[in-house]
Structure 1
Amino acid sequence: MPGSRTGRPPVRRTVRPPAGPCENPVARLLTRARRAWDRPLTAYYLILGGSLLITVLGLVMVYSASQITALQMSLPGSYFFRKQLLAAVIGAGLLYAASRMPVKLHRALAYPILAGAVFLMALVQVPGIGVAVNGNQNWISLGGSFQIQPSEFGKLALILWGADLLARKQDKRLMAQWKHMLVPLVPVAFLLLGLIMLGGDMGTAIILTAILFGLLWLAGAPTRLFVGVLAVAGAIGTVLIKTNSNRLDRFACIGATEMGPDGSCWQAVHGIYALASGGLFGSGLGASVEKWGQLPEAHTDFIFAVTGEELGLAGTLSVLALFAALGYAGIRVAGRTEDPFVRYAAGGVTTWITAQAVINMGAVLGLLPIAGVPLPLFSYGGSALLPTMFAIGLLIAFARDEPAARAALAMRQPRFGRKRGAGGPAGPRRWNTMRRRTSAVRTSGER
């Protein structure tokens, strides 16, 4: 046949036309979003960007919510903001250090951090050293206006030590025996819980219990064992609640719309008032009415209510979306790793942050009892901010350590400067600009 030396008809290649206006734009958008979501560095950017946005927005809201409280205490209006900013700067250093540490160093720090946390939590109960705040003796004074709450560091200690313990037992193939799964993890966790409950801090004890359950779940605890530990913890919690009138009142205020004859639901009801008066876009930054003495703990436990009043539903949903993205990224890191320590540590940190955020927001919304726990990375409190930012650094380090993420980071080219080879001299300088490179082929007008 003509046009073919072999006698065979020529193969006609069909060229697929570009996507035209007839294709569904929603489908194209979903496809692009799915591809971007599946990239190796998605978890890394979600953790880094989400935690940074939550911290910055928290600083803004702490400044707005704490001004009236500071003025009522005859302090400068930016007093609490300056302390929170200092804690955020120190926490940023801890986050950076944790994100650059190798996994072996994280595991090596597990036992020293646990020993230090237990020592400080026991020191709280020593008369003359421990300080009581709002009826809970869980603080140590560092001089002046600075105090530290050791139980916040106990959360981080339990995660690191528990992850290292479970990883070593898994390497030795001991996780199939229930006694190795529970001992000594559960007794040490109960030791920390006992030291916390000596000071009366039920909220921190709930978060620590959630971390323990998260570690057992990740370790593959059988259902009967998991239910047994849950039943024991529930029985102890029920006794502690029934023997304390203040805790009973907090449970009675779930879903309350009236403050009651004795005003026991004052904080819960005014938190609902703040959210209800915010509307869709809020009354404006700094324009909250409830923070003028009506809403207790406006810059700590109930800062989410002030956010709803000043930034409206849009602001609260934005905060909720950031925490959801942070939780998803943590689950993704824990699910894609092959290192058991990374899986347990990442799952423990994710359980800690998401459980504490849910308990805080649920209390503000009237869906859960007021537990007195701050909103992670958002509420005022350096003792809560420092270990949380270190834990975020752990997640960033784990996200960078994924094989696909390491390969993606290694392939990234510097935007400016020289690209150095492996021990060789610097290569030619390459500048990324918006101008297209000219082609080496001369145009028809050139001679």
Structure 2
Amino acid sequence: MNQSAVNQVVRLPLLGRPFASVYLVAACTALLTGFGLVMVWSASYVEGTKVSLAIAEKQAVWVGLGLPLLLIATFTPVRLIRAFAYPLLLATLVLLAAVLVPHLGVSINGARRWLAVGGITVQPSEIAKLALVVWGADLLARKQSKGTLNRYRHLLIPLLPVTGLVIAFVIKERDLGTALVLIAIVIALLWAIGTPLRIFVLLVAGAALGVGYLAVSEPYRLQRLLSFGDPFSDFHNTGWQASQGRYALGAGGWWGLGLGNSKEKWGYLPQAHNDFIFAIIGEELGLIGSLAVLAVFAVLAYAGIRVAQRSRDTFHRLAATGITAWLTVQALVNIGAVIGLLPITGIPLPLISAGGSSLLPTMAALGVLLSLARHEPAAVRARAARAPGRVRRVLSRLQPGPWPAADSARG
């Protein structure tokens, strides 16, 4: 690249630079992961340094395992990522089925969602999110290339039946929160591929009715729903966790009590370092700290949408949309439950809550998103311009062709 071209790139505004999407996703991932380590340590500090360090060290190990996974996904060719679509889906279905087998699945707090592997518990439903994104995006992209999506049968089958099977396993494991995220992923994929509006509305309405039925079909879910509006009415039973979460947020005020100074984590707030870690953030760092976390998630959502919009390849666009929907909806459901806008569903806050079962698939998904960002047309051209002649010719072949107009089908 000659000096004038270099100067032209330097003068570009930040969001106009070829690798802006990569920088945004990478920065948000680093901020949330690092902040999560700090808050897991702080939220788990209940009986001296031994307990807090044990949980924090375990989380640090998970981050140490997740970083290579993220880097591998980042630099893996997208074609190879697509090759894992069906094997990953099949492995997920096998694992989800294994959870329900007696003596294989582990029940914790009345829910059978985990497999015990060498002393480590694994939650296959978290892997299902990544599997559904990659498989669903690959399936719809292949059908788009064949021109068969103008027929509803090809648009919805086998996407909906397979998704229904995965969600059925998850519901059987008493995990409505994860089921909501899976539904959001599929809805996002169907929207991005250009599903006709009347079909899309029917699917969303059907999903809403299904979720409503599931919310009242189990006594424990119905009790949570009934106490959702006023958790203090059932303070010592179903409303305990929600009430303590609101106490934590209220005690934090504008600036918080200070890092490590939470009172609710001392045995009052259940799952303080996991599902309700946002309440500890609000208590220790106040409204300002809580809004800062929301701002980082908002930037990450913007970056994901930006990658999807700037991609010319169907799979790139769909995968970026699915990953963005997954992380955004999961964060909103978690935070909404903590602040009292949504019923409690028991799903972790991405990258911040403790637990490797959620952290590893999330970091892998962000690695995929970074790979997609690296394959934006502007980024591919920039890499080709910097490379020697032979490498430049190879990189030029990686640039996908024009993305077919799918939105025209929506009407």
Q: Do Structure 1 and Structure 2 share a fold, with TM-score over 0.5?
A: yes
Deviation (angstroms), 1:34: 9.5
Structure 1: 5+ residue stretches without partners: 1-31, 413-419, 425-447
Q: Which residue of 1 aligns with 2:257?
A: 283
Instruction: Please point out which of 157, 163, 174 is paired with 1:200.
Output: 174
Aligned counterparts of 2:11 and 2:210: Cα–Cα separation in 1? 47
Aligned counterparts of 1:374 and 1:276: Cα–Cα separation in 2? 21
Q: 1:220 to 1:423 in 2, by over 3 A?
A: closer
Structure 2 residue 104 is matched with structure 1 residue 126? no
Aligned counterparts of 1:245 and 1:183: Cα–Cα separation in 2? 33
1:194-343 aligned at under 5 Å gives the runs: 194-256=168-230, 258-260=232-234, 262-343=236-317
Structure 2 residue 64 is matched with structure 1 residue 89? yes
Q: 1:249 to 1:377 in 2, by over 3 A?
A: same
Kindly indicate whether the alpha-carbon contact (under 8 Å) linking 1:196 and 1:205 is maintained by their aligned counterparts in 2. Answer: yes
Please give the per-residue CA displacement for 1:48-91, whole angstroms capped at 9, x wherever unaligned.
000110000000000110121xx49x963311111111111111
Which amino acid is 1:174 matched to? T
Q: Which runs of 4+ in 1 moved over 4 A?
A: 409-412, 420-424
Structure 2 residue matching 1:258: 3-state secondary structure: helix
TM-score normalised over the length of structure 1:
0.82
Which amino acid is 1:392 matched to? L
Structure 2 residue 39 is matched with structure 1 residue 39? no
1:365-404 aligned at under 5 Å gives the runs: 365-404=339-378
Q: 1:406 to 1:262 in 2, by over 3 A?
A: same
Deviation (angstroms), 1:39: 2.5
Deviation (angstroms), 1:225: 1.3
> Which structure would you say has the larger RCO, counting Cα contacts within 8 Å and 6 or more residues apart?
2
Structure 2 residue matching 1:88: 3-state secondary structure: helix
Q: Which residue of 2 aligns with 1:62?
A: 40
Instruction: Please point out which of 120, 129, 137 is paired with 1:155.
Output: 129
Q: Which residue of 2 aligns with 1:103?
A: 78
Instruction: Please point out which of 158, 175, 192 is paired with 1:184.
Output: 158
Kindly indicate whether the alpha-carbon contact (under 8 Å) linking 1:281 and 1:315 is maintained by their aligned counterparts in 2. Answer: yes
Aligned counterparts of 2:249 and 2:78: Cα–Cα separation in 1? 43
Which amino acid is 1:46 matched to? L
Deviation (angstroms), 1:33: 12
Q: 1:284 to 1:165 in 2, by over 3 A?
A: same
Which amino acid is 1:110 matched to? A
Q: Which residue of 1 aligns with 2:4?
A: none
Kindly indicate whether the alpha-carbon contact (under 8 Å) linking 1:256 and 1:268 is maintained by their aligned counterparts in 2. Answer: no
Which amino acid is 2:57 matched to? R
Higher helix share: 2
Q: 1:143 to 1:75 in 2, by over 3 A?
A: farther
Q: 1:269 to 1:106 in 2, by over 3 A?
A: same
Kindly indicate whether the alpha-carbon contact (under 8 Å) linking 1:259 and 1:266 is maintained by their aligned counterparts in 2. Answer: no
Q: 1:364 to 1:197 in 2, by over 3 A?
A: same
Kindly indicate whether the alpha-carbon contact (under 8 Å) linking 1:253 and 1:268 is maintained by their aligned counterparts in 2. Answer: no
Aligned counterparts of 2:226 and 2:326: Cα–Cα separation in 1? 26
Kindly indicate whether the alpha-carbon contact (under 8 Å) linking 2:133 and 2:185 is maintained by their aligned counterparts in 1. Answer: yes
Aligned counterparts of 2:229 and 2:248: Cα–Cα separation in 1? 15
Aligned counterparts of 1:33 and 1:288: Cα–Cα separation in 2? 46
Aligned counterparts of 1:358 and 1:163: Cα–Cα separation in 2? 23
Q: 1:126 to 1:33 in 2, by over 3 A?
A: farther
Aligned counterparts of 1:332 and 1:190: Cα–Cα separation in 2? 29
Q: Judge which range, 274-283 or 371-380, deviates more.
A: 274-283
TM-score normalised over the length of structure 2:
0.89
Which amino acid is 1:44 matched to? V
Q: Which residue of 1 aligns with 2:408?
A: none
Aligned counterparts of 2:163 and 2:11: Cα–Cα separation in 1? 41
Deviation (angstroms), 1:260: 2.3
Kindly indicate whether the alpha-carbon contact (under 8 Å) linking 1:259 and 1:269 is maintained by their aligned counterparts in 2. Answer: no
Deviation (angstroms), 1:409: 4.3
1:418-437 aligned at under 5 Å gives the runs: none
Aligned counterparts of 2:294 and 2:190: Cα–Cα separation in 1? 27
Aligned counterparts of 2:357 and 2:232: Cα–Cα separation in 1? 33
| Bigger Rg over Cα | 1
Which amino acid is 1:131 matched to? V
Q: Which residue of 2 aligns with 1:19?
A: none
Q: Which residue of 2 aligns with 1:356?
A: 330
Deviation (angstroms), 1:106: 0.6
